[in-house]
Every structure is written in C-alpha cells, then in structure tokens.
Amino acid sequence: MAEQPRTNLPPLSLHVPEPRFRPGDPVDFAVVEIPPAGAARRPDTAEPARDFTDLSYGLVRVLDDDHRAVGAWDPRLSPDRLRRMLRHMALLRAFDERMFRAQRQGKTSFYMKATGEEAVSVAAAHALDYEDMCFPSYRQQGLLIARDWSLVDMMNQIYSNKGDRLQGKQLPIMYSAREAGFFSISGNLTTQYPQAVGWAMASAAKGDTRIAAVWCGEGSTAEGDFHSACTFAAVYRAPVIMNVVNNQWAISSFSGFAGAESTTFAARAVGYGIAGLRVDGNDALAVYAATQWAAERARTNQGPTLIEHFTYRAEGHSTSDDPTQYRSAGEPNAWPLGDPVARLKAHLIAIGEWDEERHAAQDRELAEQVKAAQKEAEKNGILGHGLHQPLDTLFDGVFEEMPWHLREQQAQMMAEETASGRPWDRK
C-alpha cells in the first residue's frame, strides 16, 4: 500500500535571486563589506592553498582612503610604472568612448566598453610577462592597449574593413593578436577557460617558462567549461591564472544568479583546492600585486590561482544593452570602491608624482591619438559600406588546408557570381 503524503509539512518554495535595487530605487551599498586597505595578509607564494582560504572571502586592497599604498600587498612600483599604467587606463577609456560613438554613428554594428573595469586588464598586463599567453573575455581590450598594440589594427577589426586581419569573420571587438599573446576572443561563454588551462599544461609539459592567464565574467562561472577547467588546473597544477571579473551584472541579470548570494566567486577555488584571492578590482595596485603573486606561484610550479576582481560595470553590457531597464541609475556613482582611473591618478598626486594639469593634458593628447587612429582605420572602410574582403576569402582560415568539399563550394560560388554578371560590390 502506497504511503500517504505527510500533511504536516510546509510546502516547498523556490528561491529566486533578486537584486537589491531596481530602476527608480534609491541606492545604498552599506551591506557591501569593504575591509581596510592593507589588512589582508600576503602569504608566501609557496604556501599551500589550504592555509589561506580566508583570502577567498576578504578583499585584498592596497590604496587607502588617503590614496596611499599600504600593507603587505603594496607592490612598491616606481612612479614611471604607475604613470604608464595610468596612461594605458586613460587610453583605454578614450578608445572606448570613440568606438562607442562610432557604433552610434552606424560605422560598426557592436561595441563593448570597459568603463570602471580598466584596472582589471591594464594592471594585470603590466604584472605579466609579454610572452605570457592571455585568454581574454570580451571586456579585456586593455590587455592589448597595455601591450602597446596598434589602435588602428584594433579598429580595423571593429570595422570589419579591408585591413581586418580576421577578414570580417569575427564579431566586432573579438580581437585576435597572437604576436601580442592575445588569444582569439570567442562569443561562446567561457570556452577560453579550458583552452587556457590546456595551453598552460602544454607549456609545462614542454618545459617552457611561459604561463597562461584567462578572464571571464562572474556569470560565466555557471558554465560547465569553467568547472572543467578548474578540475584540470587543480589536478595537473597547471601554471595558469584564472580571473573572474565580478562586475555585479551579466547582460541584464545580477550576480546572484551565478551564486553571489551564497558566497564569493573566489570561494570556487576552495572547493577545488587551489589558491584563491578576492581583490579590489578598482585598485590598480591591488590587481597588479595579486597578478604578480599568482604569476610567481605559477612559474615556481605551485599551481593555479583563481582571482576574483570585485568591481562594477559602470555602463551597459554592450551597445545593445540599456541598463536603465533593470538597475537603478544611482548605482554607478554610489559604488563604494570608486573609479579605478581616478583612484590611481589620486595616488600619483598624493605621492607628488602627478597633478591635475598634467592629467588634463594627457587626456587631450590621448583623445587626439585615438582620433588620428580612427581616421587612419577608416581609410580601410567601415562596416556597412559593402564587402571589404575578396569574396573567395569567405572559405579561408577555417582549415589549415582547405578540404575538397570546401574547394568545390568555393568554385561553385565564384562561378555563380561570375555568371550573374554583377560582381560583388566591394566599394
């Protein structure tokens, strides 16, 4: 006889994450715990990961409220290095502003800004060796800028013009620059994680000295590829730095849908037995220090490190997104960790190595530099002004050697085009 259901139990209920603020709500980030700068201890890079799991729940900070670098994580960078980092962050912001306007002018179809997250990529690039391989997500254009990559080349890709090294086959902003140690960006979330771990394992298997670094957003940690990569990295102690950019929001859903209500994203490291750090992502010195520490750990065969960069996406997810539809307009200005560019500028001023006049002059110089690069790139064409690549290149770059069936399709396509009597417009 079947058991009767128990009637004295309350019905089950399902928890659906809900952000604290919605459009029109007042904003108060008082619940965000911000420990004092310099409070986090800095373990030796050879220390076992199980001995500092507390660092996955705190927040590594270097710059204090007086814009001074304090504590064990202070990387003690030279003023010249700090100025170069500031310049690259300001250049990234100027580049983003002009390319955003280009999209609004119909010169390209899509763009994604890194406003508020400049330190995450720029400071990390400065802490890595140029030969190290970076596997970015789609908001780390600062890696290329910090490695002094050609702005014209980046814009050619955004415009999908005749100068585009990817021949118009990638969505705008999905750059690829092997010479700069910048792996091809993919629109499929987190595919770069197992690729980075595999590259790092291959580097170790060959006895090389180069390490890998990879980035994803906090929402992407829900993808299976993220967890597969963590398993391989932990088991084989791959020399890789795994960066999770927690900017509080995915496209239109907040970080709670990826697990932020339960614990930190750096805590993912604890479950896999690998080193974990939670870092103030708007503090360029903290990002540099954490990346430098993780890189030394990887180079000395101590295994991977997972770094959560606690930051905030100040603007829309992309040019296709309107954040006013799902979050309070007061959030960006209320974010308690401030603006990464302003904080690094204030630090340089505090130590007597910068001033407002020089900063304003630099902003004007960088704006002109980006404007000149745009004019040069647009000589190669812009998206929407016809096909910029020869039609037969449609089949190139798929296989190292084109298989017979693609050669047949290519020949058929070109024959049909010739027979149509209207050659493809490539103006």
313 is annotated as an active-site residue: yes
3-state secondary structure of 205: helix
Q: With DSSP H G I counted as helix, E B as strand and the rest as coil, what are the percentages for the chain, rounded to 5?
A: 45, 10, 50
Q: What is the Cα–Cα distance from 119 to 281, expressed in whole angstroms?
A: 7
Q: In DSSP terms, which residues pair with 307 in a beta bridge?
A: 243, 277
* Distance, first Cα to last Cα, the chain: 80
Q: What is the Cα–Cα distance from 119 to 312, expressed in whole angstroms?
A: 11
Q: What is the Cα–Cα distance from 56 to 53, expressed in whole angstroms?
A: 6
What's the chain's length in residues?
Answer: 427
Q: What is the Cα–Cα distance from 6 to 121, expressed in whole angstroms?
A: 55
Q: Tell me which of 139, 313, 327, 347 is the catalytic residue.
A: 313
Q: What is the Cα–Cα distance from 37 to 59, expressed in whole angstroms?
A: 9
DSSP H/E element including 286: helix 284-299
Q: What is the Cα–Cα distance from 328 to 324, expressed in whole angstroms?
A: 7
Beta strand 212-217 pairing with 240-246:
parallel
388 is annotated as an active-site residue: no
Other beta carbons within 10 Å of 14: 4
**What is the DSSP secondary-structure string of 159-189?**
HT-TT-TTTT-S-TT---BGGGTBPPP-SST
Q: Tell me which of 317, 343, 359, 388 is the catalytic residue.
A: 317
Q: In DSSP terms, which residues pair with 187 in a beta bridge?
A: none
Q: What is the DSSP letter of 305?
A: E
Q: Tell me which of 20, 326, 358, 385 is the catalytic residue.
A: 326
Q: Which two tokens stand for residue 182?
A: 């910048």
Q: In DSSP terms, which residues pair with 217 in a beta bridge?
A: 245
DSSP H/E element including 307: strand 305-310
272 is annotated as an active-site residue: no
Q: What are phi and psi of 217, to 5 degrees?
A: -80, 165
Q: What is the Cα–Cα distance from 272 to 115, expressed in whole angstroms?
A: 32
The CA-based diameter of the chain, rounded to the nearest angstrom, is: 86
Q: What is the Cα–Cα distance from 81 to 263, expressed in whole angstroms?
A: 35
Position of tokens 């596997």?
135
Catalytic amino acids?
A: 313, 317, 326
